[in-house]
Amino acid sequence: MQNIEANIVITRNDGKLASISVQMPIWSKQSEFDGNTIVKLPLLGIETVAKNDDDAEIAIKEAIQSFCGVAEKFGEGIEKELQSLGWKLVDSNGNPVLGFCVSETDALLDRLLQTGDNYTNENLEIEEELEHA
C-alpha cells in the first residue's frame, strides 16, 4: 500500500491550463544569514525567499504558479514534469490527478514528510500567457 502525501489536480479548458488544486508539505525557516525567510518546496525542487511569514504565503503561491507556467511553456507539461520529480498519475478520469506517493514500508520518508507544514490551495490560477515575456 501507498500513502499519498501530496496531490495536485489539474484543470484545463480546451487543453489550456486554467487552474490547479494543490496540497503538499513545505518547510520554512528564518535564514541565520540575513534574517529573510527561506521557503523550501522539495516536492517541486524549489527554494524561494520571503521577507516574513505573511510574505512567505505569497512566495509559495508564486513558486507553484511559476513551476506550472514554466513546465507548460518550456517543458513537457505539468504532468510529465511532476513525474520526473517522483510524482505519479493516480487518476486521470476527467481532470488529471497527480500524487506524491510513499510506500507504507518507507516509514522514515513518511515521518520526514510529516515534519513539513501542509500547504493547501484549492484554486490556484495559472495565467499561462499573461505575465511572461
- Site for other proteins, rule CB under 8 A: 30-36, 44-51, 55, 58-59, 61-63, 65-67, 69-71, 73-76, 81, 84-85, 127, 131-133
In the bound state with other proteins, the residue whose beta carbon lies nearer, of 88 and 111, is 88
Q: How far is Cα of residue 103 from the mean position of the Cα atoms in its chain?
A: 20
Nearest to 20 by CA among 100, 127, 101: 127
The residue to which cell 505575465 is assigned: 131
Cβ 58 to other proteins shortest distance, Å: 7
Q: String of b and e for 65-84 (b: at least 16 CB within 10 Å)? A: bbbbbebbeeeebbbebbee
Residue 52 CB, nearest distance to other proteins (Å)? 10
What is the rounded CA–CA span in Å between residue 70 and residue 48? 15
CA distance 87 to 54: 28
| Shortest distance, position 63 Cβ to other proteins, whole Å | 6
CB of 50 closer than 8 Å to CB of 56: yes
Q: Give the nearest distance from C-beta 112 to other proteins in angstroms.
A: 19
Nearer to other proteins, 45 or 103 (CB): 45
Q: Name which of 30 and 103 has its Cβ closer to other proteins.
A: 30
Closer of 67 and 119 to other proteins (Cβ): 67
